[in-house]
Amino acid sequence: MDGQHPSQSRSDTTCYRHPDRETGIRCTRCERPICPDCMISAAVGYQCPECVRPGSGTGHRPGAEQPRTLAGGKVAADTWLVTKILLGLNLAVFVAVLALGTSFSNEMLLFGRAVTERFGPVEGVAEGQWYRLLTSAFTHQEIWHIGMNMLVLYMVGPRLEAALGRGRYLALYLLSALGGSVLTYVVAAPYEASLGASGAIFGLFGAVAVLVRRLRYDMRPILILLGVNLVFTFTLPNIAWEAHLGGLAAGAVIAYAMVHAPRERRALVQYGTCAAVLVVEVAAVVLRTVSLTG
User: Which residue in 234, 211, 219, 224 sits closest to 158, CA to CA?
Assistant: 211
Measure the CA–CA gap between 133 and 115, rounded to whole angstroms: 17
Find the catalytic residue in 105, 136, 176, 198. Answer: 198
Active-site residue, from 5, 244, 260, 291: 244
- How far apart CA 146 and CA 265 sit, in angstroms, is 38
Smallest Cα–Cα separation from 75: which of 54, 97, 96, 92?
54
Q: Is 41 a catalytic residue?
A: no
For residues 144 and 152, the answer to whether their CB atoms sit within 8 Å is no
Is-contact 27 18, C-beta < 8 A? no
- Residue 40, strand partner residues: 47
Contact, 290 vs 191, CB < 8 A?
Answer: no
Active-site residue flag, 60? no
- Beta-bridged to residue 33, according to DSSP, are 26
Kind and range of the H or E run holding 253? helix 241-260
Active site residues: 198, 244
